[in-house]
Structure 1
Amino acid sequence: MEASQLVKAFEQKFGVSAAAVAAMPAGVAVAAEGKAAVAEEKTSFDVVLKDGGANKIQVIKAVRAETNLGLKEAKDLVEGAPKTVKEGVTKDEAEKIRKSLEAAGAKVEIK
């Protein structure tokens, strides 16, 4: 009896119905999720260094500033291009990193 009283109290206090969740057919939920996934825009991006360019010292400095890597790690990343500089960043942050690296002379791609 206590659980049913708790459910009723929630329904009255918050104006919700516990039966509403169970009433939705499973096929409708799957169809709705499929449509949402198609319409969903990509939200996380990877910044890939394609080429370090001729001025590798400036590119290494830019990579260190954007990633907080140490000197050796940043140098290895630039010399080992193509490599991912940062993964799972927002579009704005990816564009900022791309502009910074391209200003230093690197070739960058956002995936």
Structure 2
Amino acid sequence: MTKEEIIEAIEEMSVLELSELVEELEDKFGVSAAAPVAAAGAAGGDGGGDGEEEAQSEFDVHLESVGDKKVKVIKAVREITGMGLKDAKSAVDEGGAIQEGMSEKDAEEMKEKLEEAGATVELR
């Protein structure tokens, strides 16, 4: 398989499939990217309860509620994440994490845009 074929295959993946691929590559080659660091930070905060949330450097953007402007929220998710219409609609319908492992600044910007569209959002 050539580099171009690999890139084409990656371009056709959904965000969820791409996230799973990154995790598998990290496990296989013993490297780490931002998302696993965020997961480790969240796990440490839940178990210890030491109040070390100030040290958190990676944030997940969770869609808690769509509100009455679902179409606007779907459009905002598409614009922010680059998802296709089907993936964005599915993400909005399912709720939960829209984007993971983000910097605080980027997560706050995403939260603002989603709230402007009518959604209720939480950073974790």
Q: Which runs of 5+ in 1 are unaligned?
A: 1-37
1:51 corresponds to: 65
Q: CA RMSD in A?
A: 1.6
Matches of 1:87 and 1:42, distance apart in 2: 13
Aligned residue for 1:105, secondary structure, equals coil
Higher Cα radius of gyration: 1
Q: List structure 1 segments (4+ residues) > 2 angstroms apart after TM superposition.
A: none
Q: Which runs of 5+ in 2 are unaligned?
A: 1-51
TM-score normalised over the length of structure 2: 0.56
Choose the corresponding residue for 1:104, options 117, 120, 124.
117
| Letter matched to residue 78 of structure 1 | V
Matches of 1:99 and 1:47, distance apart in 2: 11
Matches of 1:69 and 1:100, distance apart in 2: 15
TM-score normalised over the length of structure 1: 0.62
Choose the corresponding residue for 1:93, options 91, 103, 106.
106
Q: Note if 1:41 corresponds to 2:55.
A: yes
Q: Deviations over 1:75-104 (max 9, x none)?
A: 0111112x1010000000000000000000
Deviation at 1:53, TM superposition (A): 1.1
Matches of 1:60 and 1:86, distance apart in 2: 14
| Letter matched to residue 99 of structure 1 | E
How many aligned positions are there?
A: 73
Deviation at 1:52, TM superposition (A): 1.1
Matches of 2:89 and 2:67, distance apart in 1: 13
